[in-house]
Structures are given as structure tokens and as C-alpha cells.
Amino acid sequence: MVTSLAQALGFEALDHDAAPIVVDEVIEDNRLGFRWRGGDGLGRVAGMFRLIEAMSERIDPATGASRK
């Protein structure tokens, strides 16, 4: 998931002239969380981070299996 996020952020920065995107902190507990800044003013970058955060809530961090 994080690799896909990094690729999508790179595409966003190159193809949509988004401001640089800086990840200040990655929070790993029962899910992933991010403290970040930069990106676009339209919410695309925020949506990308939120999608990864939401998907990580559905995955067990120890096994990678889907939570039910």
C-alpha cells in the first residue's frame, strides 16, 4: 500500500504540478497514520493519504490478513 501511495504521490507532483509533498511522520499502531504537508489545493493528495489510512484499518498489521 505504501509503495502504491509513493508512486501516486510522485505522479501527482509531476503531472499535476502539486507543491512538494513532505511526510513528517508515519504513525504505526493498529493502522497507518500520516502527518504530512504540501500537495494540491483540490484535496487529491489528502484523499490519497486518507484512502491508505482507511484501508490499513482493514488489515491486520502482524499478519497482513484482512480483518473482519
Prediction pTM value: 0.81
Domain segments of the chain as ranges: 2-56
Contact 19, 32 (CB under 8 A): no
Q: What is the pLDDT of residue 26?
A: 93
As a whole number of angstroms, the distance between CA 53 and CA 13 comes to 20
As a whole number of angstroms, the distance between CA 44 and CA 29 comes to 25
Q: What is the pLDDT of residue 9?
A: 87
Q: pLDDT digit string (tens) for 9-53?
A: 888 877 777 788 899 999 988 889 999 998 888 888 999 999 999
